[in-house]
Amino acid sequence: MSVSASSITVDGKNVELPVKTGTIGPSVVDIGKLYGQTGAFTFDPGFTSTASCESAITYIDGDEGVLLYRGYPIEQLAEQGDFLETAYLMLFGELPTPAQKADFDYRVTRHTMVHDQMNRFFQGFRRDAHPMAIMVACVGALSAFYHDSTDISDENQRMIASLRMIAKMPTLAAMAYKYSIGQPFVYPKNDLDYTSNFLRMCFAVPCEEFQVNPTYARALDKIFILHADHEQNASTSTVRLAGSSGANPFACIAAGIACLWGPAHGGANEAALKMLMEIGTPDNVAKYVAKAKDKNDPFRLMGFGHRVYKNYDPRARIMQKTTHEVLKELNIKDDLLEVAIQLEKIALEDEYFIEKKLYPNIDFYSGITLKALGFPTSMFTVLFALARTTGWIAQWAEMIQDPAQKIGRPRQLYVGPAQRDYVNIGQRG
Ligand code: CMC
């Protein structure tokens, strides 16, 4: 890492600020000493120009549409690898050897069951509870069931907690789904691979044999790889911020799930599919594009635009191909896909979207595929959370081991009243 300097003068006080350079991507101005030497803070709501940490996990070039996990292009990982290999890469920094992969798969598989008392925990929820509400609660509750792996100063406990979460997320997600449709929980089956096991826990019933469709499993596994990490986004930053206080990893991941739920983040795939349903037919598309462009109308095209990508989201390109493959192989004719294709075409040719660099993001296509696989819209963000858990854990572990790590504590620009004296209630008004 090379270091040069930049300087800034605030209220007549000059301070030299080091400029740090990463392996690729923009340099950062280290402003850590700014307040101490000038008494001023920086102001950057939404962190649009602020790097919050050093990280060696994921790299995004939003202008070029590049996404790398530990240096490997997302396209190669999605086409050639599997999700647990990506999880290993996230956690350990390198792709596993065959022996390491077999050992990792074995260790994850042996942690897939949840404490049997979790079943009773579920009974407390209403059947119509949103599965994300259940996930926030159940993942947080893991710390009540597995307190033997909550000591964050113990490397071994950190690893066990990490494996437990990667392993148990599919089980909890499937339980949340089964509970919502009134079917019995299906226990994990350890001779199946990670994603096939998840599909079985979601769609099998105890009264008949269940064969996992390999096309479904491969498509879903790809979706998991595409969602595994995405640098310092809102939910990952939430996990890091929660973890910076020393909170246990289960609680931190629960915080990440809560943040992911929002429609501007992980909830967008659910919102995108609902929007396609609302549009209904390709001839309605122009009307909705006009609504999205109207400054007086709050409507936005869900599944379009991204804070970082000002080019085609590379994940959306892979997802678009996967969607077509799944629908073709399963011989499904989906009207929503027709609406999506038409919408993408019109929006990509429209001056408003071109000028603002608004391209389809991953959520635009993932919803259609998940629907074809048989998942209700309420489960879409849950599947995102399941996949993103690997990224959250890797980012959390990186933070814990970072010698520069401190409790996160942003400052503010105060715009409330200046100091004033309390007036007794009888003397007010
Ligand atoms: N439809 C219509 N106009 C849009 C859209 C959209 N989807 N997205 C942004 N714009 C316009 C926005 O009105 C603004 O216009 P102006 O400059 O005239 O005020 C301009 O583009 C910039 O928008 P912004 O909100 O300042 O951009 P942002 O970087 O803060 O927001 C975003 C990024 C993803 C929240 C936003 O594009 C959006 O709300 N998209 C729809 C929701 C969505 O698909 N979210 C999934 C994100 S990808 C998954 C993930 O990472 O979680």
Using left for φ > 0, alpha for ψ between -120 and 50, and beta otherwise, residue 405 falls in beta
Answer yes or no: is the C-beta of 300 below 6 A from any ligand 1 atom.
yes
**158/156 Cα distance (integer angstroms):** 5
The reported pLDDT for the residue numbered 2 is 43
Which residue's CA is the nearest one to ligand 1's atom 3?
Answer: 300
* Residue of higher predicted confidence among 1 and 63: 63
Is 327 or 247 the better-scoring residue by pLDDT? 247
Ligand 1 atom nearest to 235, measured from its CA: 52
DSSP secondary structure string, 309-338?
A: -SS--HHHHHHHHHHHHHHHHTT---HHHH
Residue 428's pLDDT is what?
94
Q: Residue 3: is its pLDDT beyond 60?
A: no
CB 227 within 8 Å of CB 265: no
In the three-class reduction of DSSP (H, G, I as helix; E, B as strand; rest coil), residue 386 is classed as helix
pLDDT of residue 333: 75
303 Rama class: left (phi>0) / alpha (psi -120 to 50) / beta: left
Q: What is the pLDDT of residues 18-43, one digit of tens each?
A: 999 999 999 999 999 999 999 999 99
307 lines ligand 1 (CB under 6 A): yes
pLDDT, mean of residues 113-120? 92
CB 281 within 8 A of CB 339: yes
Q: Could you tell me the distance, in angstroms and rounded to a whole number, from the CA of residue 297 to the centre of ligand 1?
A: 14
Q: Is 226 in the pocket of ligand 1 (CB under 6 A)?
A: no
Whole-angstrom distance, CA of residue 235 vs CA of residue 251 = 13
Q: Is 227 in the pocket of ligand 1 (CB under 6 A)?
A: no
Q: Whose CA is nearest to atom 39 of ligand 1?
A: 264
Q: Could you give the residue numbers annotated as active site?
A: 306, 363
pLDDT range class, residue 4, cuts 50, 70, 90: low
- Closest C-alpha to ligand 1, atom 45: 264
Distance 305 CA to ligand 1 centre (A): 5
pLDDT of 260 over the 70 cut = yes
Query: Element (H or E) spanning 136, and its range?
Result: helix 131-145
| Best probe residue, ligand 1, of 237, 307, 380 (max atoms within 8 Å of C-beta) | 307
Look up the pTM and report it.
Answer: 0.90
The answer to whether 165 and 388 are in contact (CB under 8 A) is no
**Residue-by-residue DSSP string for 213-238:** -HHHHHHHHHHHHHHS--SS-HHHHH
Does position 189 have pLDDT exceeding 90, yes or no? Answer: yes
Strand order of the β-sheet with 58-61 is 58-61, 66-69, 72-73
- The helix (run of H) or strand (run of E) holding residue 202 is helix 194-203
Model confidence at 371: pLDDT above 90: no
CB 302 within 8 A of CB 279: no
Mutate to test the pocket of ligand 1, among 275, 279, 356, 388 (most ligand atoms within 8 A of CB): 356
CA dihedral of 137, 139, 143, 144, whole degrees rounded to 10: 40
> What mean pLDDT do residues 101-109 have?
96
Q: Is 234 in the pocket of ligand 1 (CB under 6 A)?
A: no
Regarding the beta carbon of 342 and ligand 1, being less than 6 Å apart is answered no
Identity at 126, one-letter amino acid code: R
- Rg over CA atoms, the chain: 23
- Of all residues in the chain, what percent carry a pLDDT higher than 70? 99
Q: What is the pLDDT of residue 1?
A: 40
Distance 264 CA to ligand 1 centre (A): 8
Which has the minimum average pLDDT: 64-68, 148-152, 362-366, 371-375? 362-366
Q: What architecture does CATH give domain 5-51?
A: Single Sheet (2.20)
Mean pLDDT of 252-268: 92
Residues of 79-115 as b/e, b for ≥16 C-beta within 10 angstroms?
Answer: eebbbbbbbbbbbeeebbeeeebeebbeebbebbebe
Task: Please enumerate in sequence order all residues whose Cβ is within 8 A of that of 75, keeping only pairs 6 or more positions apart, or say none.
Answer: 314, 317, 318
Distance CA 261, CA 234 (A): 11
Residue whose Cα lies nearest atom 51 of ligand 1: it is 265
Q: What is the pLDDT of residue 240?
A: 98
373 vs 330: CA distance, rounded Å = 9
Average pLDDT over residues 180-186: 95
Task: Report whether residue 235 contacts ligand 1, using a CB cutoff of 6 Å.
Answer: no
In whole angstroms, give the CA distance from residue 121 to residue 130: 15
| Pocket lining: 268 vs ligand 1, CB cutoff 6 Å | yes
The number of the ligand 1 atom at minimal distance from the alpha carbon of 313 is: 48
Statement: residue 5 has pLDDT above 90? no
pLDDT digits (tens, 9 = 90+) for 308-352: 888 888 999 899 889 888 888 777 777 888 898 889 888 889 999
Percent of the chain at pLDDT exceeding 90 = 77
- Cα(352) to ligand 1 centroid in Å equals 12
Query: Which residue minimizes the CA distance to atom 19 of ligand 1?
Result: 295
Tens digit of each residue's pLDDT (9 = 90 or more) over 377-393: 999 999 999 999 999 99
Q: Is 381 in the pocket of ligand 1 (CB under 6 A)?
A: no
Any ligand 1 atom below 6 A from CB of 56: no
Give the Å distances, CA to CA, from 75 to 88, 266, 319, 370, 411. 17, 21, 10, 20, 39
Residue closest by Cα to atom 16 of ligand 1: 356
Ligand 1 atom at minimum distance from 300 CA: 1
Reduce the DSSP state of residue 188 to 3 states and report it: coil
Express each pLDDT in 125-140 by its tens digit: 999 999 999 999 999 9
Cβ of residue 380 lying under 6 Å from some atom of ligand 1: no
Torsion angle of the four alpha carbons 272, 277, 281, 284, in this order, in degrees rounded to the nearest 10: -60
State yes or no: pLDDT of 188 exceeds 50.
yes
CA of 318 to the centre of ligand 1 (A): 21
Map residue 6 onto helix, strand or coil: strand
**pLDDT for the residue 360:** 87
Model confidence pLDDT, tens digit, residues 276-297:
999 999 999 999 999 999 999 9
Domain ranges of the chain: 5-51
